[in-house]
Chain A
Amino acid sequence: MSNNNLTQKYITLYQNHKERLLDNSSQIVNEYRDKAFDAFKKSGIPTVKSEAYKYTNIEEPFSRDYQSVLESEKFSGNIEELFKCNVEELDTYTMFTVNGKFIGDNNPGALPEGVIVGGFAEMAEMHPAIVEKYYGKSALIEKDGVIALNTMLATDGLFIYVPSGIKPEKPLQVVNILTAENDILVNRRDLIVVEGGADLRLLFCDHTISTNRFLVNAVTEGFVADSGTLDFYNLQNQHNGTVQIGGYYFQQDKKSLLNANYFSLNSGIARNNVFVDMNGLHGENHISGLTLVDKNQHVDNFLSISHNVPECESNELFKSVLDDAGSGAFTGRIYVAPDAQKTNAYQSNNNLLLTDTALMNARPQLEIYADDVKCSHGATVGQLDEEALFYLRARGIGKDEATILLMYAFAYEVIEKIRVPALKEQIRTLVEKRFRGELDKCDSCIVCADINKVMNDLSGV
């Protein structure tokens, strides 16, 4: 079902840059590169004719012309001086990527012993044993053409390794910045490993600085070992010329806990692929998302939770508020393997349409092969409660303010899931600002920093 011309375009891109790609990566990563190339030749870029990409056309953005960032030099300025978090309450270890490349000079501060953080390209060379064990094990190249493409083209991104029993005191914050003079394609590749009993809180903030178009094809692999905890937050605030395919592929061992929270505040087209494999007894996860779209924005959350073993629990809560001609999609696949008895799997997807032109597609998909399980799913699409609106207005609250209160009330359940209090407060403020139309799509960074200053400083680099 692939588009041959489009597939050929990226095959040629790979062939033209192959030498340089191979020179800049570790041997293990390069072995995957070749396999991914073969896989991509077969799969190509997924089209709207495939079930998985039915509601989001990614062919169109992939068919545009981008300047390749494969050749570009690494950003060499001192980003710490340029980019300061002005939210003091949010005390984090902070790191940056610019166009998918890790900023090497950045030192996230004193991390506990044994914790490894850094650029994926560099760390893959330094820690081959970790890469060999985990790389490409969760984001399988045969699964999706965009995974194959990323594995074929990506060189850098984040590398985070937290050894057994280590619990970094502060959350780790990664600011993924996009900035360029021309339209660019970015392939970022992240590897996150949380070993047994370790506990990591990780925040990804995705931002655009310059106004050109971006196509981001990012793949993040995350592994949570026995009794480990990963609290993951993704905050997306990019301008409307951005198309981002964010793939998050998690594996969970026994008694592990995964919390993954996606806040899609702004982007042109965003597709989140969230896949979780529960491979050990008594694993638990909570995956949630809050999507806010307006104008012609589009957000597609595509989830797949696999209960491969018995006695695990998964919870999904995704909510969207859609304004103007904004559109969204939600697919929630839950797979329960034949012997995965005593599975608890819950899914809820609620959507608020503010206009007649907003559009939402919701697809719960339960595939259950065990007989002693508790599974539930619910999807709703509705409008603002007129009675509640009148009740608030009858107390003197203006229509606009009352509408914001009700939209916030709709969203709060997702915000309540945030386990870092300062971050919860930040996101609460942000969401409210977004509802008031005060959150600038192009250049505001919310959790961190004076982005205008960063933009000025970067333009001089």
Chain B
Amino acid sequence: MLKIRDLHAAIDGKEILRGIDLDIKAGEVHAVMGPNGSGKSTLAAVLAGNEAFEVTSGTVEFDGYDLLGMSPEERAREGLFLSFQYPVEIPGVSMTNFLRTALNEQKKYRKEKPLSASNFLKLMRDKKNLVEIDSDLTNRSVNEGFSGGEKKKNEIFQMAMLDPRLSILDETDSGLDIDALRVVANGVNKLRRDDNATIVITHYQRLLNHIVPDKVHVLYKGKIVKSAGKELAHELEINGYDWIKKELDEQ
């Protein structure tokens, strides 16, 4: 589904990603871990099309298409979803209007009929239950005055509404208490299917107790330096990142 080759990216002339290679197949969950500043969030931002970052070389194929040649909205309409580490508050744009616009733009792109008002509301109701989001929140402006936990739940709620094929969860666990973490993880697990895939970006292992990955990658200084099964996450939880840094620095 996703094929990243030798991806380099920079911001303000400073190189952050220094040659990423990654393959993700449908039905898989990959965890990308790593110490602070290793480039995890940059990878997420570059995949979603944030123009603040400049891709200096490399390729990314999404279902055979050149992902890097697409605008952020085209990527989203093709089925890529980024759950933001810091969801943006947008006063004056209602959640309902926002989601209806997003869904209908997606439908238009896919040459499908727009949702009727009643079907849209029904979909909202169903998906709200999935992520246990407070009904009141969807009557407000996008993320405005939401708590940290509510913002993260809202990201997963949007993910449920848009039904992406590839989801990138950027530090979705940060700032969550244990109950909110479970709710968010349950939501993600319920959305898992054989025909979609998830990238979980996290600093800590605890989210991976709830969302069990097929593969774990360690990102360090802009490169994937280690890939293994889910046991790698446990190892990192116990021993931290220092041993990997040490191992690399010795090489």
Q: Which residues of A contact B (CB under 8 A)?
A: 385-388, 390-399, 401-402, 405-406, 408-413
Contact for A390 among B72, B81, B158, CB less than 8 A: B72
Q: Which residue of A lies closest to B79 (CB)?
A: A396
Contact B71 A395 (CB under 8 A): no
Q: Do B92 and A393 touch across chains, with their CB atoms under 8 A apart?
A: no
Q: A406 vs B77: C-alpha distance in the bound complex, in angstroms?
A: 20
**A399 CB, min distance to chain B CBs, angstroms:** 7
Which chain B residues (162-208) contact chain A, with CB distance < 8 Å?
Answer: 162
User: Contacts A396-B76, A405-B101 hold; do A390 and B87 have CB atoms under 8 A apart?
Assistant: no
A-facing mask of B126-162, CB < 8 A → 1, else 0? Answer: 0000000000000001100000000000000010001
The proximity string for B residues 76-101 relative to A, scoring 1 for CB distances below 8 Å and 0 otherwise, is: 11000110100110111100011001
In the bound complex, do residue B92 and residue A394 qualify as a contact, i.e. CB atoms below 8 Å apart?
A: no
Q: List 16 A-B contacts (CB under 8 A).
A: A387-B88, A388-B88, A390-B88, A391-B142, A393-B73, A394-B48, A394-B50, A394-B72, A394-B75, A394-B84, A396-B73, A396-B106, A397-B98, A398-B73, A409-B90, A410-B92
- Distance from A379 Cβ to chain B, minimum over Cβ atoms (Å): 18
Would you call the interface of chain A mostly helix, strand, loop, or mixed?
Answer: helix
Asked if B105 and A397 make an inter-chain contact with CB atoms under 8 angstroms apart, the answer reads yes
Give the residue name and chain of the B residue nearest to A405 (CB).
B93
The chain B residue with its CB closest to the CB of A404 is: B101
B70–chain A nearest beta-carbon distance, Å: 11
- Check A393 against B76 for contact (C-beta < 8 Å): yes
> Residues of B contacting A413 with CB < 8 Å?
92
The answer to whether residues A406 and B105 also contact, given A390-B51, A394-B82, A399-B71 and a CB cut-off of 8 A, is: no
Closest residue of chain A to B107, judged by CB? Answer: A396
Are B51 and A395 neighbours in the complex by a CB distance under 8 Å?
no
Expressed in whole angstroms, the Cα–Cα distance for A401 and B101 within the complex equals 9
Q: A397-B73, A405-B101 are in contact. List 15 more A-B contacts (CB 8 A).
A: A386-B52, A390-B51, A394-B49, A394-B50, A394-B75, A394-B82, A396-B73, A397-B98, A401-B101, A405-B93, A405-B98, A408-B92, A408-B93, A410-B92, A413-B92
In the complex the two chains form, what is the Cα distance from A402 to B48 in whole Å?
16
Contacts of B71 in A (CB 8 A): 393, 399
Q: Is the CB of B76 within 8 A of A395?
A: yes
> Which 4 A-B pairs rank lowest in CB-CB distance, beginning with the nearest?
A409-B92, A396-B76, A393-B72, A395-B102
Give the CA-CA distance A399 to B49 in the complex, in Å: 13
Q: Is the CB of B91 within 8 A of A396?
A: no
| Contact in complex: A395, B109 (CB < 8 Å) | no
Is the beta-carbon distance between B93 and A409 smaller than 8 angstroms?
yes
Contact (Cβ within 8 A) B90 A392: yes
Q: Which residues of A contact B97 (CB under 8 A)?
A: 405
C-alpha spacing A388/B86, complex, angstroms: 11
Determine how close the nearest CB of chain A comes to the CB of B183; give it in whole angstroms: 21
Q: How far is the CA of A385 from the CA of B92 in the complex (A)?
A: 13
Q: Does A391 lie within 8 Å of B73, measured CB to CB? A: no
The reply to whether A398 and B105 form a contact with Cβ atoms under 8 Å apart is: yes
Q: Counting chain B CB atoms within 10 Å of each CB, which of A391, A410, A411 scores highest?
A: A391
In the docked arrangement, what's the CA distance between A394 and B98, Å? Answer: 12
Q: Could you tell me if B102 and A397 are in contact, using CB atoms closer than 8 angstroms?
A: yes
Contact (A391, B76) CB under 8 Å given A396-B162, A406-B93: no
User: Given the complex, which residues of A lie within 8 Å of B93, measured CB to CB?
Assistant: 392, 405-406, 408-409
Are the CB atoms of B98 and A406 closer together than 8 Å?
A: no
Q: A387-B88, A409-B91 are known contacts. Are A392 and B50 too (CB-CB below 8 A)?
A: no
Q: Is the CB–CB distance between A392 and B77 below 8 Å? A: no
Cα-based distance from A412 to B88 in the complex (angstroms):
18
In the assembled complex, the Cα of A394 lies from the Cα of B81 at a distance in Å of 7
What are the residues of chain A within 8 A of B84 when measuring CB–CB? 391, 394
Nearest chain B CB to A217 CB, angstrom units:
36
> What CA separation (Å) do A413 and B93 show in the bound complex?
11
Are the CB atoms of A392 and B98 closer together than 8 Å?
A: yes
B48 cross-chain contacts in A, Cβ below 8 A: 394
CB distance from A334 to the nearest CB of B (A): 26
Q: In the complex, which residues 42-73 of chain B have their Cβ closer than 8 Å to any Cβ of chain A?
A: 48-52, 71-73
Q: How far is the CB of B137 from chain A (nearest CB, A)?
A: 16
Residue from B52, B75, B101 having most chain A Cβ neighbours under 10 A: B101
Indicate if the CB atoms of B73 and A399 lie closer than 8 Å: yes
What are the residues of chain B within 8 A of A401 when measuring CB–CB?
101, 105
- In the bound complex, CA of A406 to CA of B106 (Å): 19
Are A395 and B92 CB-contacts (below 8 A) given A390-B72, A401-B105, A405-B101? Answer: no
Q: A394-B49, A396-B76, A399-B71 are in contact. Are A388 and B105 (CB under 8 A)?
A: no
Smallest CB gap from B90: residue in A: A388
Give chain A residues whose Cβ lies under 8 Å from the Cβ of B92: 408-413
Q: Which of B50, B73, B91 has the most CB of A within 10 A?
A: B73
CB distance from A41 to the nearest CB of B (A): 50
Residues of B near A390 (CB, < 8 A) are: 50-51, 72, 88
Q: How far is the CB of A164 from chain B (nearest CB, A)?
A: 40
Complex alpha-carbon distance, A397 and B71, angstroms: 11
When distances are taken between beta carbons in the complex, the residues of chain B under 8 Å from A385 are: 88, 90
Residue of B nearest to A395 (CB): B102
Name the one of A391, A397, A409 contacting B87, with C-beta atoms under 8 angstroms: A391
CB distance from A61 to the nearest CB of B (A): 35
Cβ distance A371 to chain B, nearest Cβ, rounded Å: 35
B90 touching A397 by the CB < 8 A rule?
no
CB of B124, distance to nearest CB on chain A (Å): 15
Q: What per-residue 1/0 map shows which CB atoms of B27-52 lie under 8 Å from chain A?
A: 00000000000000000000011111
Q: Is the CB of A391 within 8 A of B106?
A: no
Residue of A nearest to B92 (CB): A409
Q: Residue on A with the closest CB to B164? A: A396
Contacts of B162 in A (CB 8 A): 395-396
- Check A397–B101 contact: CB distance below 8 A: yes
Q: How far is the CA of A396 from the CA of B48 in the complex (A)?
A: 11
Give, as a whole number of angstroms, the nearest-CB distance from B84 to chain A.
7
